[in-house]
Amino acid sequence: MFFEFSIKDAIDIILVALMLYYLYRLMKESRSLNVFVGIMLFVILWLIVSQVLEMRLLGSIMDKLVSVGVIGLIVLFQEEIRHFLYSLGAHRKVRNLMQLFTNSNKEDVDKEAIIPIVMACMSMSRGKIGALIVVERGILLGDIIETGDIIDARINQRLIENIFFKNSPLHDGAMIISKKRIKAAGCILPVSHKQDIPKQLGLRHRAAMGISQDSDAIAIVVSEETGNISVAIHGEFQLHLSAEQLESILTKEMIQ
């Protein structure tokens, strides 16, 4: 039986290895690596006790702990599980496959809505006015919008600049743009705990990274210290952008 090794078994092992590797990366980014290692050690011990040593009493106790522990793990790692499921659904190939079954028109984007955002960012960049703008896409951000003040106004360059003016009461939070309208400002975003974010990037950048990890939103940051413009998409930064580059990114990403 030991030598009956088929291609299906090889695929099975590769898939399990990939799953464990992805979970390892996910736990490492969320500072839960020690918990993940502890769980893996418990699973290995459980398999040795129940399958190798065939210790019935201890194996039975550990079986009960495993069955109850699954519910506890779901509660404990609900954010990581949500992130994992989102990553599967937000994958580019999955999105392209879903578009085959929908009648969505990629060109159904008002490009005139992009220009005020770009112009406002360039103006704030020259004045070194900090800003954080989040453009909603497929994943709805209703829970994020509720943390701020509802505006529901047409996208306007002057309005964007006034909201992020240093004396404005809403300048510290994030602006949410949804369905070609400024939905809210002063919103609170989840902060990313990724270890590889450059140290010179501040809290705005970590918040932009956080919302880009938890959703498919586009997060635009204007640095208050340097005036540099950055964009976070799918947990990745694009730094030091010009007006042309920012417009190109928004046009490309908002029609997908």
Q: For residue range 86-95, list pLDDT tens digits in order.
A: 656 555 555 5
Q: Decide: 212 and 233 in contact? Cβ < 8 Å.
A: yes
**The predicted structure's pLDDT at residue 188:** 94
Same domain, 80 and 12: yes
Mean pLDDT of the 194-198 span: 78
Same domain, 89 and 179: no
Most confident of 8-12, 63-67, 126-130: 126-130
For the chain, the distance separating the N- and C-terminal CA atoms, rounded to the nearest angstrom, is 50
Same domain, 26 and 116: no
**The predicted structure's pLDDT at residue 28:** 64
Tell me, yes or no, if the pTM score tops 0.85: no
Same domain, 243 and 174: yes
Same domain, 127 and 249: yes
DSSP structure class, residue 173: S
**The predicted structure's pLDDT at residue 86:** 61
Same domain, 94 and 117: no
Mean pLDDT of the 164-191 span: 91
Q: Which residue did the predictor score with more confidence, 129 or 44?
A: 129
Reduced to 3 states (helix: H, G, I; strand: E, B; else coil), residue 105 is coil
Q: Decide if 57 is inside a domain.
A: yes
Same domain, 61 and 130: no
**Number of domains observed in the structure of the chain:** 2
The domain of 247 spans: 111-254
Distances (CA, A) of 22 to 18, 29, 101, 108: 6, 11, 29, 35
Same domain, 73 and 123: no
Q: Decide if 197 is inside a domain.
A: yes
Same domain, 115 and 214: yes
Sign of CA dihedral 95, 98, 102, 103: positive
